[in-house]
Amino acid sequence: MSQQPAARAAVIKDVARLAGVSHQTVSRVLNDHPSVRDETRERVLLAVKQLNYRPNALARGLAGRRSRVIGVVSFDTILHGPAATLLGIERAARHAGYGISIVALERLDRSGVVDAVNRLAEQSVAGVVIIAPLLTAAAAAGSLPTGVPAVVVESDLAGDLPTVSVDQVAGARLAVEHLLGLGHQTVWHLSGPKDWLEARDRVDGWRAALEAAGRRVPPVLAGDWSPKSGYEAGRELAERGDVTAVFCANDQQALGMLRALHERGVRVPEDVSIVGFDDIPEAAYLSPPLTTVRQDFDEVGRRCLAALLELLGVDRPPGVPRHPRVPPSLVVRASSGPPPAS
Amino acid sequence: MSQQPAARAAVIKDVARLAGVSHQTVSRVLNDHPSVRDETRERVLLAVKQLNYRPNALARGLAGRRSRVIGVVSFDTILHGPAATLLGIERAARHAGYGISIVALERLDRSGVVDAVNRLAEQSVAGVVIIAPLLTAAAAAGSLPTGVPAVVVESDLAGDLPTVSVDQVAGARLAVEHLLGLGHQTVWHLSGPKDWLEARDRVDGWRAALEAAGRRVPPVLAGDWSPKSGYEAGRELAERGDVTAVFCANDQQALGMLRALHERGVRVPEDVSIVGFDDIPEAAYLSPPLTTVRQDFDEVGRRCLAALLELLGVDRPPGVPRHPRVPPSLVVRASSGPPPAS
DNA sequence: CCCATGAATGTGACCGATAACAATCGAGGC
DNA sequence: GCCTCGATTGTTATCGGTCACATTCATGGG
CA distances from A100 to A15, A36, A127, B101, B329 (A): 28, 32, 10, 6, 34
CA A224, distance to chain mean position in Å, is: 19
> For the residues B66-83, what does the mean pLDDT come to?
91
Query: What part of A 30-89 touches B (C-beta under 8 Å)?
Result: 54-59, 61-62, 67, 69, 77-78, 80, 83-84, 86-87
**D9 C1' closest Cα residue:** A25
Burial B279-316 (b: 16+ CB within 10 A, else e): bbbbbbbbbbbbbbbbbbbbbbbbbbbbbbbbbeeeee
| Residues B302 and B160 placed together within one structural domain of the fold | yes
B1 in any annotated domain = no
> Please, which contacts does A46-53 make with residues 24 or more away whose CB atoms are closer than 8 Å?
A46/A19, A47/A15, A47/A16, A47/A18, A47/A19, A48/A15, A50/A18, A51/A10, A51/A14, A51/A15, A51/A18, A52/A10, A53/A9, A53/A10, A53/A11, A53/A12, A53/A14, A53/A15
Judging contacts by C-beta atoms under 8 Å, the chain B residues touching residue A256 are 285
A4 pLDDT higher than 50: no
pLDDT at A35: 86
A2 in any annotated domain = no
pLDDT at A55: 93
Distance CA B337, CA B342 (A): 14
A342 in any annotated domain = no
CATH number of the domain to which B302 belongs: 3.40.50.2300
| Residues A50 and A87 placed together within one structural domain of the fold | no
The per-residue pLDDT for range A239-249, each reduced to its tens digit, is 988 999 999 99
| Residues A179 and A280 placed together within one structural domain of the fold | yes
Distance CA A210, CA A173 (A): 8
B316 pLDDT higher than 80: no
The whole-number Å distance from B18's CA to D23's C1' is 23
* Full DSSP string of B228-240: HHHHHHHHHHHH-
pLDDT at A1: 35
CATH number of the domain to which B30 belongs: 1.10.260.40
Q: Which amino acid would we find at residue B200?
A: R
pLDDT at A7: 62
B338 in any annotated domain = no
B334 in any annotated domain = no
| Residues B155 and B175 placed together within one structural domain of the fold | no
Query: What part of B 95-114 touches A (C-beta under 8 Å)?
Result: 99-104, 106
> For the residues B282-302, what does the mean pLDDT come to?
95
pLDDT at B4: 39
The answer to which of A64-68, A100-104, A245-249, A286-290 has the lowest mean pLDDT is A64-68
Euclidean distance between the first and the last CA atom of chain A, given in angstroms as a whole number: 92
What is the percent of chain B with per-residue pLDDT over 70, rounded to a whole number?
Answer: 94
Q: Tell me which residues from 234 to 253 on chain B have a beta carbon below 7 angstroms from nucleic acid strand D.
A: none
What is the percent of chain A with per-residue pLDDT over 70, rounded to a whole number?
Answer: 94
| Residues B200 and B263 placed together within one structural domain of the fold | yes
| Residues A203 and A254 placed together within one structural domain of the fold | yes
- Is there a contact between A262 and B67 if contact means CB atoms under 8 Å apart? no
B146 pLDDT higher than 70: no
pLDDT at A296: 95
Which neighbouring-strand residues pair with A291? Answer: A275
B2 pLDDT higher than 80: no
pLDDT-derived band at B3 (thresholds 50, 70, 90) equals very low
| Residues B162 and B301 placed together within one structural domain of the fold | yes
pLDDT at A178: 98
| Residues A192 and A284 placed together within one structural domain of the fold | yes
Cis status, amide bond into B288, omega within 30 of 0: yes
B2 in any annotated domain = no
B175 in any annotated domain = yes
Q: Are the CB atoms for B120 and B148 separated by under 8 Å?
A: yes
Question: How many structural domains is chain A composed of?
Answer: 3
Interface membership of B124 toward A (CB under 8 Å): yes
- Mean of the per-residue pLDDT values of chain B: 91
Check if residue A27 sits with its Cβ under 7 angstroms from strand C: yes
Query: Nearest to residue B207, comparing CAs of B242, B172, B165?
Result: B172
A157 pLDDT higher than 50: yes
pLDDT at A342: 65
Q: Which among B84, B121, B282 has the least Cβ separation from residue A282?
A: B282
- Sign of the Cα pseudo-torsion (A29, A33, A38, A40, in order): negative
**Helix (H), strand (E) at residue A199:** helix A197-212
The strand order across the sheet containing A188-191 reads A220-222, A188-191, A245-248, A273-275
For A47, the domain range is 12-55
B238 pLDDT higher than 60: yes
Distance CA B13, CA B24 (A): 9
Distance CA B55, CA A124 (A): 10
| Residues B290 and B243 placed together within one structural domain of the fold | yes
Interface membership of A318 toward B (CB under 8 Å): no
Query: Nearest to residue A79, comparing CAs of B87, B241, B127, B278?
Result: B87
Q: Are the CB atoms for B294 and B134 separated by under 8 Å?
A: no
pLDDT-derived band at A319 (thresholds 50, 70, 90) equals low
Q: A299: distance to nearest CA of chain B, Å? A: 16
| Residues B172 and B274 placed together within one structural domain of the fold | yes
A330 in any annotated domain = no
Which neighbouring-strand residues pair with B51? Answer: none
Q: B212: distance to nearest CA of chain A, Å? A: 35
The per-residue pLDDT for range B294-312, each reduced to its tens digit, is 999 999 999 999 999 988 8
Q: Are the CB atoms for B149 and B168 separated by under 8 Å?
A: no
Query: Nearest to residue A67, comparing CAs of B9, B124, B65, B30?
Result: B124
Angle between helices A38-51 and A23-30 (to 10 degrees): 90
Higher pLDDT pick, B32 / A147: B32
| Residues B131 and B173 placed together within one structural domain of the fold | no
pLDDT at B111: 85
Q: A60: distance to nearest CA of chain B, Å? A: 9
- Is there a contact between B55 and A122 if contact means CB atoms under 8 Å apart? yes
B318 pLDDT higher than 70: no
The residues, any chain, with a CB within 8 Å of residue A171's CB and separated by 6 or more, are A202, A205, A277, A293, A295, A328
| Residues A175 and A290 placed together within one structural domain of the fold | yes
The per-residue pLDDT for range B218-232, each reduced to its tens digit, is 999 999 999 999 999
- Is there a contact between B118 and A54 if contact means CB atoms under 8 Å apart? yes
Q: Are the CB atoms for B190 and B235 separated by under 8 Å?
A: no
Q: Are the CB atoms for A152 and A214 separated by under 8 Å?
A: no
pLDDT at B235: 96
